[in-house]
Structure 1
Amino acid sequence: IITPFQLYFNPELIFKHFQVWRLITNYLFFGPVGFNFLFNMIFLYRYCRMLEEGSFRGRTADFVFMFLFGGLLMTIFGLFVNLVFLGQAFTIMLVYIWSRRNPYVRMNFFGLLIFQAPFLPWVLMGFSLLLGNSIIVDLLGIAVGHIYFFLEDVFPNQPGGGRLLRTPSVLKAIFDTPEDDPNYNPLPEERPGGFAWGEGQRLGG
């Protein structure tokens, strides 16, 4: 029903023929099912989850803003490099941000290499090179990840620095749940059927 030719990043088709969906769909195609596809899925799931449960825990709006900021930068850079799908670069961006925020974690790559987490994106780039893939994708992901990390984690802590990336209030209103009022004391609810159903646990608690 849908072919990659309907999904890939093509500035002419986007801006002249108004096929704006390509701005998003080019991030969603990782090639046919095979080693490269599984490799990307595993890393995308793993490091996206670790970021969400780690440094972005309780900050869903900031997490979404990172996605939007990274996607916007990659789209701009994509106008100047010959890349038709940017999903793998996005995965490398997530890996880079996680690795810089966890600099003391020791990594084991297929039991062959042991190194500190900040070297992981470069190891992946070297592995991609060995597989005969273009390293432009990896370099783009590393560059965008570094820009985000610098603006979010490094520059605000420098003398005279400041926070340049601010999550829009509309995203906070949509994704961040309001804090519980400590003075709120709800009335006890009757348990249906007279059974002791057990105490519930608030999601994310």
Structure 2
Amino acid sequence: MQDVLEPEADSASAHHRHTSGISIRNHSQAFVGLARDMYFAASHSPEEASEQAAIVCHNALFLTDRYVDCERVIGAKGARVAGVCEWITRDAKYRAWLSGGNNGDSNDNDNTRLLWSLGGPGKAKKMTSVFLIEELERHTERIDKAELVFFFSSVEDEKRNTAVAVLRGLVHWIIAKRPQLVEHALPCFELLERTQQTLSSPEVLWLILDKLVADA
């Protein structure tokens, strides 16, 4: 009987040698056991769990890098010719929009602050957009707690040619700039089915965006 028990005793002794020096502190991760019989234990604090949920939410929203999209426009259209786009900074409607005032149209709503620039093919809309991004980045740097958020839509790119794509891009970037605002989006990403619905629903994404902007 002793011959039968000795291997188990040796195994227990080896197991003790492997584990006796390991302690598991609060909120740490550790593994114990023999090489052939490994056991894992993990514990996460509420703060760590919240941080992980925020990361999952933010990553799920990602579609495309807007700065890469901007560089694609420049690469496709070529470098901007100096003096071509500066006219817009002198436009009365643009200046009124930038300052938050009414542009003279009696139908304007001061709280809307929407500037719509449109033009036919070949009117340098994309290059003007690139120019405005550069201008507005410099402008917002001088304003406390101001952030510039933009999204390049493209009819040729299925990742960037829908309302869902635009909303996901804006929500993703606002959360990247103001991580504390992710709390407004987290309830919509708690379950896989809910996440899938959120990522394909312009209505849900609009509600999230509205909350982000209101709290920004």
TM-score (norm 1): 0.21
Structure with more relative contact order (C-alpha pairs < 8 Å, separation 6 or more): 1
TM-score (norm 2): 0.20
